[in-house]
Chains A and B, each alone.
Chain A
Amino acid sequence: MTAPPQLRAGPGPGDAGTAAAVIQTEALTKRYTSEVTALDGLTVAFAPGITGLVGANGAGKSTLIKILLGLLPPTSGRAVVLGHDAAASGERIRTLTGYMPEHDCLPPDVTGTEFVTHLGRMSGLPATAAKERAADSLRHVGLYEERYRQVGTYSTGMKQRVKLAQALVGDPRLLLLDEPTIGLDPAGRRAMLDLISRIGAEFGISIVVSSHLLGEIEQICDQLVVIDGGKLLRSDTMTSFTQVSQVLLIEVDEGIAGLVADLAARGLAPRRSGRRGLLVRIDGEQTYDTVRDAVADLGLPLNRLEQQRRRVEELFRDNGDDEEERGDG
């Protein structure tokens, strides 16, 4: 697997931070109490297109989204969304923005159509327009006959689609999607990501999609914003991200200690991963050669040699040694 090609003619590299930014924050800080700081001097720009907002749970993603919607006043600093100040013009921003919350937010005893129509009216659409746009939105997210069924009977994937449809119903210029793939199985995640990618590419709507898994959303993003502990870790276009995000998993049946020493001697920095696995950072084609040579020289039985993407936590701290969630599968 190589770096994902730029499938879409999105904004080119280096667009982040230009005047065309969809969202811009300046030294944005949010303190809930003197001890709890959700955002800490965050200065970042989101370019048009699809931006991944990545961070571990509790990194401040949801807080940032609420501030961007004008629902939460920042302690200091400011945020500008679509040219409007978030603290002063929240209503204007919410007219132009669709929001999909992370948690469950659907009443079980109404049909998908009724629900999305009602929220269309709450977005300011007149009754007839709300009906039409609700039908359109539900069709775009892939709900057809099911939309006349009660939401309580939907599968998790269908519920996520309804949540997306209600964000789309007001014809927003910007979508803020908070962990849209949460709770979905791999096939459901793929379908949801495809859908988001289509909306971003073909509907001309800028999207911020938050996730705690980098590997998951990097495939559909033009740009990544990584935050940790309320601070900006990195903001860059996807291309420059994937270069550092790739690691090589080496799995041998025996002699792993020797291999670690040998690879270290050859200038790589191997890290243990599980009982028989090693991870090394890929610095180019020569990494593969080095590993091949090392394994061959030691005469070890090589089980697996696999390029992986690392979790965001691993990317930015070098002590990550998680076993349960390696790469993006």
Chain B
Amino acid sequence: MTADNAAAAGPAPVAGAGVIHDLGYRHYDGPRLGRPGIIRALYWHSLRSAFGIGRGAKAKIVPVLMFALMCLPAIVNAIALAQHPGQSPIVNYDTYTYPLRSLVMLIFVAAQAPELVSRDLRSHVLPLYMSRPMRRLDYPLAKLAAFTAACLLMLEIPLIILYVGNILSAGGGSAVWAQTRALIPGIGVAALWAVLLAAIGLVLASLTGRRAYATGMIAIYLFLTFTLSTILVNVAQQGPAGPKGGPLGPNAVAPLGARLGGLISPFSVLDGVRQWLGGTNTSPIPPPGSVGFLYGIMFLLLLAASLAGLAARYRKVGAA
């Protein structure tokens, strides 16, 4: 029923008053997207807001700065290779300057995860979402997908820049092929980072509606565990020699304590998984060797706990 044209209107079917007052109310006869379409719309909305798009200039500062910082090693690498052709690349695809990557992701997740979920909690807007034709867990699902995608963009685009920089100065098809083969595990490792960090960030951010608390909580958790793990690894490495004895050569196996120390921090868990899966490039995390599978288990545990926490949280919030 369209009431915008009073002349065309017959007897009002609902009001039964006989006269339709032309107030310009138009009913909507167009298509409705249904649940998948709504989740997709929320996904795009959230992905944009993870980078401050659709918000004020201030909201863009941290994500843009962090993205630029993340790209820096790839750009430096490209410039270095352009000036000294033939030199081997200075940045690896799979470790990608592990300390810088950890720091940048720590800040990005701590600053932007609350942007996606804490704001809605703070302003109590969730009942409005729940009154829409979606299910209770659709909201956290869309948010998780969006934030994982945001982290993926943060991690993968620099790898693509790195790749382009490398193949531009690579000589011949075999060199390009070698670069491509090296890139693929790098993309996989970055995906592991994105999946785990997005889930941890969102579940922590969903605990409070206060953005500052959420940011603080995520930053402190990630930073404390990172520091603790680094200290443990260092102490263990300087302690009594490992089973093999002798000074730590490139092929020496680190003491067990050092190999287990990385299990505390999500960042070192991610690097441990990388090495367990066959990554050979060195990083500050000693190769876990025989306990590598523990890193795999820890990764799955952290991920499962985050997802379960997120689901439990929104089951509760949604019922309120």
Q: Does B278 contact A (CB under 8 A)?
A: no
Given the known A-B contacts A105-B123, A105-B127, A129-B30, are A119 and B132 also in contact in the complex, defined by CB atoms under 8 Å?
Answer: yes
What band does the interface of chain B fall in when counting residues whose beta carbon is under 8 Å from A?
Answer: 35 or more
Q: Does A198 contact B (CB under 8 A)?
A: yes
Assess whether A8 is in contact with B38, with CB atoms less than 8 Å apart: no
Which chain B residue shows the least CB distance to A129?
B30
Given the known A-B contacts A71-B319, A91-B133, are A124 and B127 also in contact in the complex, defined by CB atoms under 8 Å?
Answer: no
Task: Give complex CA distance A72, B131 in Å.
Answer: 11
Q: In the assembled complex, which residues on chain A have CB atoms less than 8 Å from the CB atom of B55?
A: 109
Assess whether A105 is in contact with B128, with CB atoms less than 8 Å apart: yes
Q: In the assembled complex, which residues on chain A have CB atoms less than 8 Å from the CB atom of B42?
A: 121-122
Assess whether B28 is in contact with A95, with CB atoms less than 8 Å apart: no
Q: In the assembled complex, which residues on chain A have CB atoms less than 8 Å from the CB atom of B17?
A: 8-9, 201
Task: Give complex CA distance A104, B123 in Å.
Answer: 7
B 221-280 contacts with A by CB, 8 A: none
Interface string of A192-221 (1 = CB under 8 A from B): 000000100111100000000000000000
- Taking a contact as CB atoms closer than 8 A, the residue among B15, B45, B125 that contacts A201 in the complex is B15
Interface string of B34-57 (1 = CB under 8 A from A): 110110011001000000001110
Given the known A-B contacts A9-B17, A48-B14, A91-B135, are A121 and B45 also in contact in the complex, defined by CB atoms under 8 Å?
Answer: yes
- Taking a contact as CB atoms closer than 8 A, the residue among A107, A125, A201 that contacts B33 in the complex is A125
Q: Does A92 contact B (CB under 8 A)?
A: yes
Which chain B residue shows the least CB distance to A101?
B127
Q: Does A188 contact B (CB under 8 A)?
A: no
Task: Give complex CA distance A18, B318 in Å.
Answer: 34
Q: In the assembled complex, which residues on chain B have CB atoms less than 8 Å from the CB atom of A119?
A: 128, 132
Q: Does A171 contact B (CB under 8 A)?
A: yes
Question: Which of B18-26, B104-112, B194-202 lies at the interface?
Answer: B18-26
Assess whether A122 is in contact with B41, with CB atoms less than 8 Å apart: yes
Assess whether B132 is in contact with A123, with CB atoms less than 8 Å apart: yes
Which chain B residue shows the least CB distance to A200?
B15
- Shortest beta-carbon distance, A229 to chain B, in Å? 22
- Shortest beta-carbon distance, B83 to chain A, in Å? 46
- CB within 8 Å of B: which residues of A? 8-11, 48, 69, 71-72, 91-92, 94-95, 97-99, 101, 103-109, 114, 118-119, 121-127, 129, 133, 136, 139-140, 166, 170-171, 198, 201-204
| Known pairs A11-B16, A92-B133, A204-B14 / 20 extra A-B pairs, C-beta < 8 Å | A9-B18, A72-B319, A94-B132, A94-B134, A95-B133, A99-B127, A99-B128, A101-B127, A101-B131, A105-B127, A107-B123, A109-B55, A119-B128, A122-B41, A122-B128, A123-B133, A126-B31, A126-B33, A170-B28, A203-B25
- CB within 8 Å of A: which residues of B? 1, 3, 12-18, 20-21, 23-28, 30-35, 37-38, 41-42, 45, 54-56, 119-120, 122-125, 127-135, 318-319
